[in-house]
Structure 1
Amino acid sequence: MGCVGSSEKAVDGHSKKIRKPKPWKHSEPITRAQLKQMRDEFWDTAPHYGGQKEIWDALRAAAEADLGLARAIVDSAGIIVTSDDMTTCYDERGAKYDLPKYVLSEPTNLIKDE
């Protein structure tokens, strides 16, 4: 998988810009610690629902990185991002990876920790 030149309008969605999900609200206000626990639980259990562990690991690294680095991570792992907020991705074998918004951004009703 060489770099023959990257184009912003790749047909397979490979070179789409990545952005944070639209602002969202959790069902009830949560603290940063609760959000971290939800994220950890998701990443710990996600590989059990299918797909490859290496792809899940790359998605976690991308979700926790800034947007420029996230793009580089998904490209280098061969991940196809079909929604520009990374909520739906596929690997090169066609396995689907759904990411909840809470692993990609913070809710608008996050309680600031003291």
Structure 2
Amino acid sequence: MTDPDVLLDEHVGRVFERVLAERGYEVQQAKDRFGEETEDPTLVRWCGENGVILVTNNAKDFEPLHEDIEHAGLFLYREQSLPDDDPEGLARAVDEVVSQYGYRALTDEIAELDEWYELFHE
């Protein structure tokens, strides 16, 4: 299986980007690709058209878009500091979701990374 491309929403830090890249993912920051403050529907639509998983902690805005726009997978986490506090642990959660479900099965699905993270830190 090929690792999927991943787009990080604008608030996700560079350390987490580096950790995912070291694990073999093709990673881009939304702010690098599209500029600051790109509209959320634009990000979701682009990810769907390009087979790219979107990682964000902005559940309030992205969960409703999940219902309306086709996408390659939304990976949500609710603990805002998690990518900075434990980037390796969060990256392991990403690995596990992709490993358990496979890239194709993630299409139009939401994965709650906090729940996966907690499985390894109980």
| Structure number with bigger Rg | 1
Pairwise TM-score range, normalised by the shorter structure: 0.3 to 0.5
Q: Which has the higher contact order (CA 8 A, sep 6+)?
A: 1
Higher strand residue share: 2
Judging by fraction of residues, say which structure has more helix: 2
* TM-score using structure 2 length: 0.31
